[in-house]
Structure 1
């Protein structure tokens, strides 16, 4: 308690000194208001970050991110998001170029394996989708000048 009293006294002296220098604007706060601000009391009443529900939510999110990184879960972007985004920086989605390459691999696989009639139908649909992706890629590509490379 002696250390507490000394600290409170030093704090009050600092406040009085600031007041004498005209550095306190508005109403001067009491010592209790400085040491126990109402904003901190409100945070404590709502539970803040230190409650069991938050711990559970944090654990679930960490497990989900670990599963995504290990490849157990593949995140898929919803349809209402921007479809122009070809290159995704976070690795959670495939780029248009990746899907085009995958279409080519699947077309080759259809011809190499499986029933001829089913493989031909699937290869035909893949070829149509491949063409659609290439068209979209050309429509959404940006023209660049040679000056940007030098």
Structure 2
């Protein structure tokens, strides 16, 4: 995928590998991509908004209605803005919530409001990944054409 001038919505979830998103932001910017970031509540336990905004040079979104302009809903704005959505790390819980169609935070609401390609980067213990529930949930996403 050519990254130059691509608009990438990076969603940083909560997991030990969340810190790797900072290096990814640097790499994407080096390749001339434009990045906007959603930091989930659990993601905040691993990386800070300050570190992300310092590297990305962009506002970090975390709340569904955190905009100064209350008429602008962040999930709709971000869903329309991006060319692709990249969610990392995608935990077993995130995969399950997506498979169930949950829209209970800014990240999942934005994904459900988008028609753009969504890329999940699963990151969890191998036994959790191989668990039949996680595999069934991931398969449901694939079967529904969610992860093109």
Between structures 1 and 2, the one with greater helix share: 1
**What is the TM-score with the length of structure 2 in the denominator?**
0.19
RCO (CA 8 Å, sep 6+): is it higher in 1 or 2? 2
Between structures 1 and 2, the one with greater strand share: 2
Q: Which has the larger radius of gyration?
A: 1
